[in-house]
Amino acid sequence: MTPGPFPGLFLLDLVVREDAERSGASFREIYRAEELEAQGVPPFRPVQWNVSESERGTVRGIHAEPWDKLIHVTAGEVFSAVADVGKGSPTAGEVWTGRLDRTNAILVGAGLGNSFQVVSARATVVYLVTGSWRPDVSYPTVRFDDPDLAIRWPVTGEGVELSDKDRSAPSLRELWAD
């Protein structure tokens, strides 16, 4: 476990144990509370498990829900971007980017903006979250291509797929103006 560049972000390197007796078989632990807490990660008590399956170029986010998220890619590879979108935070506007696959995971604290773009043909991303999503509640979002965040997405142009929600998200400055 490595602390990220701003509070609330932790990077987890996983040990993938390949099964020598079965081709393509492996085992890995994604989360063990006592080990992570001993390393300084705050207690994490998930209440919901989410799965996102997407094709190359798909961008999800930047979403800043009010709960913690443990994020792991079970198949494929994604480019991950986490931004501190908290107005007045000492690290506001800072961004961490990296690749996620079956060998790592990230723990993203409540209020940080989480996003990813699929860089393999397909990817399956799983989230354990400490709060329940509610369709009638609006959570902060920021445009994936916000110029102040200046995230360098690997798939660009016609290859980018966005939901209507992500396409219409405000810029960071517009979010902070509210």
* Interacting residues of 101 by C-beta distance below 8 A, sequence separation 6+: 73, 76, 77, 78
Q: What six digits make up the tokens of 16?
A: 């993938």
Q: Identify the DSSP state of 20.
A: T
Active site residue 63: yes
Report the C-alpha gap between 16 and 30 in whole angstroms: 10
Q: Where are the alpha helices (DSSP H) in the chain?
A: 33-38, 164-167, 172-177
Catalytic residue status for 127: yes
Which residue in 31, 72, 127, 139 is the catalytic one? 127
Question: What's phi and psi for 78, nearest 5 deg?
Answer: -130, 155
Residues 6 or more apart from 2 whose CB is under 8 A from it? 10, 11, 12, 13
Q: Which residues of 81-109 are buried (b: 16+ CB within 10 A; e: fewer)?
A: bbbbbbeeeebebbbbbeebbbebbbbbb
Q: Which of 76, 105, 95 is closest to 151 using CA atoms?
A: 95
By annotation, the residues acting in catalysis are: 63, 127
